[in-house]
Amino acid sequence: MDAAVLVAPGVKGRKVLSLERHLLDEKEAVAGLMRSIADSGVRSAFYVLDLTRVVALHRRWRRALPYVRPYYAVKCNPEPALLGALAELGAGFDCASRREIEAVLELAVDPGSIVYANPCKPDAHIEYAAQVGVSLTTYDSVEEVAKVKRCHPDCELILRIKGPDNAQAKVDLGTKYGAHADEVVPLLRAAQRAGLRVAGVSFHVGSGGSRTDVYRRAIEAARAAFDAAATLGMPPMRVLDIGGGFMARGSAFKEAAAVINDALAQNFGDLPRVELIGEPGRYFAETAFTLAARVIGKRTRGEVREYWIDDGLYGSLNCVLMDDYVPRPRTLAGRRPGKQQRTYTSTVFGPTCDSLDTVITGYQLPEMSVGEWLVFDDMGAYTKGSGSNFNGFYTSDIETFLAYSS
């Protein structure tokens, strides 16, 4: 299985650097590799994608949620090597647009392993899904039923229900998506009238939260929707999609899995044929990517140091604004051996001309020179994929090096 990742589509043909993890701790192993990349003459921001970690996270998922097939949410980070590795490991994919579907199909993934999980889609994107055989999509409005009927009449639907309120999550998706309890029956009826099959129910409890009770309440609500469909005489539903919201760091995933397994046994134990899927994004991507950004400018004001780096809030570090990412950069050079290292109160700016493009202020860093590097951990979720090209700094051009330890 592990070796297969190295020949996965998206990885094939790209150089995979060796990660000497057995010698060091995980972060130091990646930093060591980053130092050798920087020493090789690279002069602009780059990522390292740790494929070993992706394999380990997949293994952990299979152990904790053995009956739930992960459909990786491409929006979280569409790096082809990550998609390819996950495809090789047997994952399906949650795509939200034509381009995301194309990116997955380019890796020779079966269209049947894709759920078009965007409840509100442009006509042209639905027509594209019809052309390429992606025939399972989410909805939460009567208007979407009419649109799918018109653009892709053979498509099956998944009713997206609103997850429990979860204001504590970084992104509470329930404020935008999901049928309220009193909308479930009208939405099922709308699909029934249109002659579209409702294959199942989905929800998303919110992204980047640590509460786990929300899964139980969402699974209970999903079961109520299954029962409502049966009462309406609709064909039995066959899919339950438990969405995303999983975290790789800490114990949150283990706790969520325990709640989910228990809630599934209680609410779906009598429906053993129901196919269980999830849409994890952050879980697979967040900790697998590390960013190195280069110091491209410096100003000294008394005891304060100000640095410019070549990635910022309009680029990968948009996650500071959009995803509550708290930057805690460290120097790639690491701690110099011997004497105690002096630090300075520092500000780190991004490269664009907007003063909003300030990554961190009042942060302690050792003295750095132009040409040195800052390292940002856990930079895989909602980063490179959601950066802009403002001021001509192309987020999409930031190179990703692939790493693997055998």
Q: Which residues are catalytic?
A: 353
Q: Is residue 323 involved in binding ligand PLP (CB under 6 A)? A: no
Q: Are 158 and 134 in contact (CB under 8 A)?
A: no
User: Token pair for residue 71?
Assistant: 């459909």
Region binding ligand PLP by CB under 6 A among candidate stretches 14-22, 128-136, 217-225, 276-284: 276-284
The residue sitting closest to ligand PLP, measured at its beta carbon, is 244
* Smallest gap from residue 243 Cβ to ligand PLP (A): 5
* Backbone dihedral angles phi then psi of residue 72, each to the nearest 5 degrees: -60, 130
SS3 187: helix
Q: Which of 245, 329, 380, 387 binds ligand PLP (CB under 6 A)?
A: 245
| DSSP designation for 27 | H
User: Token pair for residue 324?
Assistant: 């509550």
Q: Which is nearer to ligand PLP, 18 or 175 (CB)?
A: 175
Region binding ligand PLP by CB under 6 A among candidate stretches 187-195, 241-249, 292-300, 334-342: 241-249
Q: Which is nearer to ligand PLP, 278 or 351 (CB)?
A: 278
User: Token pair for residue 385?
Assistant: 């994929």
User: Token pair for residue 297?
Assistant: 């400018």
Q: Is residue 207 involved in binding ligand PLP (CB under 6 A)? A: yes
Burial category of 384 from C-beta neighbours within 10 Å (exposed 0-12, middle 13-18, buried 19 and up): buried
* Smallest gap from residue 241 Cβ to ligand PLP (A): 8
| DSSP designation for 264 | H
Q: Which is nearer to ligand PLP, 244 or 350 (CB)?
A: 244
CA pair distance 100, 94, nearest whole angstrom: 9
Q: Is residue 256 involved in binding ligand PLP (CB under 6 A)? A: no
Contacts of 53 (CB under 8 A, 6+ apart): 26, 287, 288
Within positions 381 to 400, which residues make up the interface with ligand PLP, using CB under 6 A?
none
Q: Is residue 178 involved in binding ligand PLP (CB under 6 A)? A: no
Binding residues for ligand PLP, per CB under 6 A? 73, 76, 94, 117, 173, 204, 207, 243-246, 279-283
